[in-house]
Amino acid sequence: MLTLTNVTWLDILCISCAGVYFVMRVFNKKNPASYPPGPPGWPLIGNILDMPHTKPWLTFAMWGKKYGNISHIEIMGQHIVVLNSVKAAMDMLDKKSTLYSDRPIFPVGGELVGWKHSMGLLPDGDRFRRYRRNLHRVIGTRAAVGTYNQIEEVETRRFLKRVLTKPGQLQTHVRHTAGAIILHISHGYEVTENDDPFVDLADRAVDQFSRSTVPGAFVADFMPFLVNVPEWFPGAGFKRLAREWHETVEEMISAPHKFVKDQMAAGIARESFTSKLLGDHDHVAKWSAGSLYAGGADTTVSSIYSLFLAMTLFSDVQKKVQAEIDAVVGPDRLPSFADRDSLPYTEALAKEVLRWNVVAPTGVPHRVTEDDIHDGYFIPKGSLIIPNIWFMLNNPQTYANPSQFNPERFLSIDGKKPETDPRTVCFGFGRRICPGLHLAEASVWISTAMSLAVFDISKVVEDGVEITPEVDPSSGTISHPKPFKCSIRPRSARAVALIEQDVNY
């Protein structure tokens, strides 16, 4: 596979020859202002050796400290601008959204694998707006998401029961529950109890999306002519991989869509996002629902899994939220969305989960559609704009001791002003802000409240030694905590009784 991790100098030399024309155009053009500062590049190849391929947000943060909130590199004629401050991101991606709302073409992840039809990678235009309108009607407001409260509560209660039965399979249970919620909404589909095919399919597809769209994943993303080389060509292993991944994407989009059509033909379909859209163009209906399905099947998994990691590491926080739930809800029932306004510490904890473990550390790159001068810097047409969301949520000037998990930073205590709500940043910016943000935060909140009402989460003890999990998020467009062990036990016999209650729609 030809990736930035295994490029040889011979590869670079060959690619450079093809890129000379583009580089010469850059050098020969008279720019109206200077580019933002950044690492100095090499002749011909630019900054290809500077582009990080593992946890790029850490490298981008170092650039921010050295070069300022707006930094710049160039790879084979492709300009990349990294934003390390909320202000820069808001000023460019929000206030200048007419210029900064496009998406780049991803030659591998978008074109070869096939994610170019998903809403996340659609170029700014009529089809993108059509998808977004479809999603906004269903999950675009808190009121709209509120219609799914029962689904969230039922599936979360089922999650508690699975965790009680098999606590050692936490990550599997989290994925299963996220898939159950989103498939119920998107396709009216009720998942099987174990090894559901649609949940497994989404897991594979979204993992491949994350790996194929991270900046710098493939040299072909910077030199698109490479996508035309045959699969047998040396270094073209990425094409075989893309072909396999394309088959996964097609199945993930088409199989649940066919399920709804078959159910409707039989007169037994549940009302769902897809069933409401089937009067629309079939491609639009399929990919609008597929975008909802893919987006909801993985992002909340990362957040909820990180909740259990945080509770394993920060027992004092767990005790405080449990004390609040016990005082407000009591021992005779589980928390529900009706309790949300009465549980401020639980709300703050859910916010801290979103800040502490950044699900999309660098988001998906934006693309500028026209030349722009911003803060005196020249941003050429076609530049990729990457917001370093991870640093924005870990900036010590914004968040005191950012590595510390501390929900109290979002509460007004002793007249102290709360720190910046992470929800203004973690879901992206401008027209490209995540359309499912209200559904995502609702899922995180109800999982937090219900799980901590009935479970004590702690470190595992093996051979008399307490095992402290490592905080090590994965690379990729969507980042997950490194798999870890923890002890999950019911808080009391009453908690067990609450978990084991039968629950149905």
The rounded distance, in Å, linking the Cα atoms of 399 and 402 is 5
Q: Give me the residue label for tokens 């968040």.
A: 399
Tokens of 502: 């039968």
Tokens of 153: 């509560």
The rounded distance, in Å, linking the Cα atoms of 202 and 221 is 24
**How many CB atoms neighbour CB 242 within 10 A?**
24
Give, for 21, the enclosing helix (H) or strand (E).
Answer: helix 9-28
Residue 434 labeled ligand binder: yes
The CA distances from residue 43 to 17, 382, 432, in Å, are 12, 21, 35
**How, if at all, do strands 377-379 and 372-374 pair?**
antiparallel
Chain-centre distance for alpha carbon 21: 36
Question: 234: exposed, middle or buried (C-beta count within 10 Å: 0-12, 13-18, 19+)?
Answer: exposed
The rounded distance, in Å, linking the Cα atoms of 290 and 254 is 8
Phi, psi of 456, rounded to the nearest 5 degrees: -105, 125
Annotated binding residues, written as ranges, equal: 434
Annotated binding residues for heme, written as ranges, equal: 434
